[in-house]
Structure 1
Amino acid sequence: MNIDFHYGVIYIVARIGGMTPSQALTVAHACQYVDDATTSGILRFHGGETFERFATAHKMFDYANTVSDQNRLVWAPFHFLPAGQGETLEEKAVCRADSAVAREVVRRAIRQRDTETGLHRLGVTLHTYVDTWAHQGFAGIESPGNRVHSLEAQDCTPMGWLANLTLAMQHLIQHVEEDVLTLALPVGHGAALHYPDQPWAKWHYIDGRNMLVKRHNLPEFVQAAEMACRAVRAYVAGREDFENEEGMPANVKEALTELLDTNRIMDDNQRLRAICEVIKTGGIPGLKEPIPDYVPKGIGSWKYKATGLRSDDDTGDKPLWTEAFEKSDYRLFHDAVKEHRFVTTQEVLPAYGLRIA
């Protein structure tokens, strides 16, 4: 899923689920920041203080991650949560929508609701949880099962001859990309291109097990939003059995379904802007308010507010450590990431017979 879902839709379900605007913003920002926190290692302060961070995503075009053990610590616990089903490691590592593992990880986050990192931890966890719908069938480890062949998408929009010719050329290029990426990117859904993350997409492909896989993202994305809303309600209520909570009201679910289906702008940041405009003008029943812009890097970002650093790689003068850093969203997010990764890789997954870190 992209920023339109992780930030926009998660904000909607957080508000519908009973959170204040401030709480919903923290959860939505943390949810999206999982895709943008690409700097790992020790943050060094001017006075000698240090703070450890884990990257939750790889920088674009960082192809080294496809052959590094580090991908297991990034893709599996944050983007392709293993379902723990099957006999072999490769079978157990496959991500499945709303798996028992995923629900347990959500319960663990709800259990930490009264801690200082509670909201940030929920945001990180919801990123992982909703991604199980988008990334189902793929694994966050190197696996032949991630191979994609004969990738096709259904387009029901009537087109003229020129548009059809253009589409035919795009399909030709796409198949070349598909074959190259299948070999170059054995981790995750890289060879499936952008289709797993488009809310409206209908697509199919032959997987690495030579099985035909048919996908229709819209009902799956709506179900992901429904379950995320239940998780928020449970978090607010202090209950771990979130699957038994009420989801979105029928009119909200209908409006969100329509929005995800018709908001077909290819650029996900523009899709987010469209979602924010709908929320601002009252297009979601019971919700009419502006949403602050999401700033991933540089001035205005969580990192900048906490440290004054503008660069991804911490270049520049070392920041001064202050008490404000300890209370910052940046520090709370990274500590929530550490908690999530430890619980997922060291407690939950081993309980399902899977050791990947």
Structure 2
Amino acid sequence: MNIDFHYGVVYIAARVGGMTAGDALTVAHACQYVDDATTTGILRFKGGETFERFATAHKLFDYANTENDQNRLVWTPFHFLPAGEGATLEEKAICRPDSEVARELVRRAIRQRDAQTCLHRLGVTLHTYVDTWAHQGFAGIESPWNRVHLLEAQDCTRKGWLARLRLAAGHLLEHIEEDVLTIALPVGHGAALHYPDQPWARWHYIDGRNNFISRHNLPDFVQAAEMACRAVRGYLAGREDFETQAGMPEDAKDAITRLLDTNRDPDDNQRLRNVCEWIKAGRIPGLKEAVPGYIAKGPGSWKHKATGLLCDDDTGDRPEWTNAFEESDYRLFHDAVKQHRFVATQEILPARGLRIA
């Protein structure tokens, strides 16, 4: 999923679920920041203090995207959560929508609702949870299940996207086919291009086991929004059985269905702007308000507010360590990330016979 869902729709789900505007904004920002937190390693302060960060994403063509050990630490716990079903490691690593593993991860976040990192932890968890619908059938490790052949889609401009892909890759390629992408991008849904993340897309392909896979994203994305709303209600009520909580009212659910189906700009940032316009105009029943813009990096970002640093390469500049840093969204997010990763990779998955980190 892209920013239009992780920030925009998750904000809607949180507000409809009963969360205050301020808390919903924190949850939605943390949810989207999982895709933007690409800086890892130790942040060093002038006085000698240090703080550990862990990247929750790689850029698409980052060389680390081909290092399986790194993928297992990044893609698996945050973007392609394994369902833990099957006999082999490759089968257990496949992401399945609304799996029991995913629900357990949500329950663990609800259990920590009184912790300082609770809102950020919920946002990180919701990113992983809703991605199980978009990323179903793929794995965050190198796996034959990630192979894609004969990819076809309706209502999508594949030629234009491939042209942008060539430029982004920095390669002068005359032809890019799924088989080539399968080799170049062996992790996750890279070979399926952008189709898994487009809310309206209808597409199909042959997977690595020669199975015909047909996907219609819209009902899956609507269900993801519905379950995110239930997770928020469970969080607010302190109920780990969040799946039993009330979902979205039918009129709000219908509005989100229309929004996801008609908001088809290829630029996901423009789609987010459209989502925010719907909210501001009151087109989501029971919700009419302005949504602050999302700033991933640079002035006004969580990192900048916490440290004063403006770029990802912060190996030279050392900020002052202050109590404000300890209270910052940036610190809380990274600590929530470490909590989430530990629970997923060291507790939940090993209990289901899957050791990946």
* TM-score for both structures, normalised by structure 1: 0.95
By how many angstroms is 1:321 displaced? Answer: 0.2
User: For residues 145 and 240 of structure 2, what CA distance do their matches in structure 1 show?
Assistant: 33
Give yes or no for the alignment of 1:332 onto 2:332.
Answer: yes
By how many angstroms is 1:63 displaced? Answer: 2.9
Over 3 Å counting, the alpha-carbon distance change for 1:193 and 1:335 in structure 2 is: same
SS in 2 for 1:223: helix
Q: Which residue of 2 aligns with 1:298?
A: 298
Paired AA for residue 4 in structure 1: D
Any conservation in 1 of the 2:345–2:356 contact (CA below 8 Å)? yes
By how many angstroms is 1:154 displaced? Answer: 1.7
SS in 2 for 1:247: coil
User: For residues 99 and 328 of structure 2, what CA distance do their matches in structure 1 show?
Assistant: 33
Aligned length: 347
- Where do residues 244-255 of structure 1 align in structure 2 (5 Å cutoff)? 244-255=244-255
Any conservation in 1 of the 2:42–2:50 contact (CA below 8 Å)? yes
Q: Which residue of 2 aligns with 1:98?
A: 98
- Counting aligned pairs with the same residue, the percent is 79
- Where do residues 67-78 of structure 1 align in structure 2 (5 Å cutoff)? 67-78=67-78
Over 3 Å counting, the alpha-carbon distance change for 1:171 and 1:300 in structure 2 is: closer
Q: Which residue of 1 aligns with 2:287?
A: 287
SS in 2 for 1:346: helix
Q: Which residue of 1 aligns with 2:7?
A: 7
Paired AA for residue 154 in structure 1: Q
Structure 1 runs (4+) deviating above 2 angstroms are: 167-177
- Where do residues 23-38 of structure 1 align in structure 2 (5 Å cutoff)? 23-38=23-38
Q: Which residue of 2 aligns with 1:56?
A: 56
- Where do residues 1-357 of structure 1 align in structure 2 (5 Å cutoff)? 1-155=1-155, 176-357=176-357
By how many angstroms is 1:67 displaced? Answer: 2.4
Q: Which residues of structure 1 form unaligned runs of 5+?
A: 157-166
Any conservation in 2 of the 1:49–1:321 contact (CA below 8 Å)? yes
- Cα deviation, 1:163-187, whole Å, max 9, x if unaligned, reads xxxx696699798242211111110
Any conservation in 1 of the 2:90–2:143 contact (CA below 8 Å)? yes
- Cα deviation, 1:259-283, whole Å, max 9, x if unaligned, reads 0000000000000000000100101
Any conservation in 2 of the 1:309–1:316 contact (CA below 8 Å)? no
Any conservation in 2 of the 1:81–1:128 contact (CA below 8 Å)? yes
* TM-score for both structures, normalised by structure 2: 0.95
Any conservation in 2 of the 1:107–1:240 contact (CA below 8 Å)? yes
By how many angstroms is 1:133 displaced? Answer: 0.1
Paired AA for residue 105 in structure 2: V
User: For residues 311 and 96 of structure 1, what CA distance do their matches in structure 2 show?
Assistant: 36
- Cα deviation, 1:85-105, whole Å, max 9, x if unaligned, reads 000000000000000000000
By how many angstroms is 1:317 displaced? Answer: 2.4
Any conservation in 1 of the 2:68–2:142 contact (CA below 8 Å)? no
Over 3 Å counting, the alpha-carbon distance change for 1:261 and 1:45 in structure 2 is: same
User: For residues 137 and 169 of structure 1, what CA distance do their matches in structure 2 show?
Assistant: 24
Any conservation in 2 of the 1:28–1:123 contact (CA below 8 Å)? yes
